[in-house]
Amino acid sequence: MSHSTDSEPDGNAAYGHKPFKRSRSHFADRITADGRDGWPVEAGRYRLVVSRACPWASRALVSRRLLGLEDALSLAVADPIQDDRSWRFTLDEGGRDPVLGIAYLSEAYEAREPGYPGGVSVPAIVDVPSGKLVTNDFQQITLDFATEWTALHRPGAPDLYPERLRDEIDEVMGGIYRDVNNGVYRAGFASGQEEYEAAYHDVFRRLDLVSERLRDQRYLVGDTLTEADIRLFTTLVRFDAVYHGHFKCNRSKLTENPVLWAYARDLFQTPGFGDTVDFDHIKQHYYRVHTGINPTGIVPLGPDLSGWRTPHHREQLGGRPFGDGTPPA
């Protein structure tokens, strides 16, 4: 969704009519403690632009909240319904972001690279003084929040990317990215039966493996929350609402998998996860923007969301969500 938005008019209608390919992040500068790319970590300097509909952007929302970066890094929320110029700030008064003063995220891309021809994606971090896009590298942004922004973390912030576990975290996230995070899109935007079936099988094979892994341990790697859990969560929380029906990933619902449903509820009820989720934005975006898949634009009324708050009993597996730290306020 975020990294495949076409900038030509009604590019969204092309979904389902051509093979799906996730485009690389065009702007991969990093905001680092030493400022080696020219963008030093600095409180108040940057603005994070997200859509609450987008799973890639939602990672940044969860990470920002868990690490307590809210005061240091301001937030702009785009309208879940894009038009042919992509993400827009129509939720804000006057249709402009109050800090950046722009109506469309594409204006920050244009300020960075005049005539930029590519897609406009979230999450994006914009340099407030210059109005220029710094990065749209969704894979790197949250890793840098965890490792480069430490001077601005809240007291008691968890270590979401602990050094001793990085190889294992990277390996687990690699499979989840390929087969689950991106796999649901490959299934949903497939333009042929074989392409769809291959993606469908990838999705559920990986979910079965992950389910097996989580049967006896509370979190994906180690006994605390890590970046790996954030990345799986943002797909799982959308699964029944959009991927099961809209993207035809319908072997089974999340609620029909006892392990993954309990794991997803455990995370949802952990401060920093469920409190960043907006199911209305999620459904409005997928069903109304992807006209190539859902030409009527009808948004389904279900599923029933009341189960997300029910007891999950995962605490019986032990684990310490925040390690030696504390939950966000």
Residues that are catalytic: 54, 185
Tell me the Cα Rg of the chain. Answer: 19
Please name the residue that has the structure tokens 């923007």: 289
- Measured between alpha carbons, how far is 113 from 116 in angstroms, rounded to an integer? 5
66, 158 in Cβ contact below 8 A?
Answer: yes
Residue 217: closest CA among 227, 229, 206, 230: 229
Please name the residue that has the structure tokens 């249709």: 95
SS3 readout for the chain: CCCCCCCCCCHHHHECCECCCCCCCCCECCCECCCCCCCECCCCCEEEEECCCCHHHHHHHHHHHHHCCCCCCEEEECCCCCECCECECCCCHHHCCCCCCCCECHHHHHHHCCCCCCCCCCCEEEECCCCEEEECCHHHHHHHHHHCCHHHCCCCCCCCCCHHHHHHHHHHHHHHHHHHHCHHHHHHCCCCHHHHHHHHHHHHHHHHHHHHHHCCCCCCCCCCCCHHHHHHHHHHHHHHHHHCCCCCCCCCCHHHCHHHHHHHHHHHCCCCCHHHCCHHHHHHHHHHHCCCCCCCCCCCCCCCCHHHHCCCCHHHHCCCCCCCCCCCC
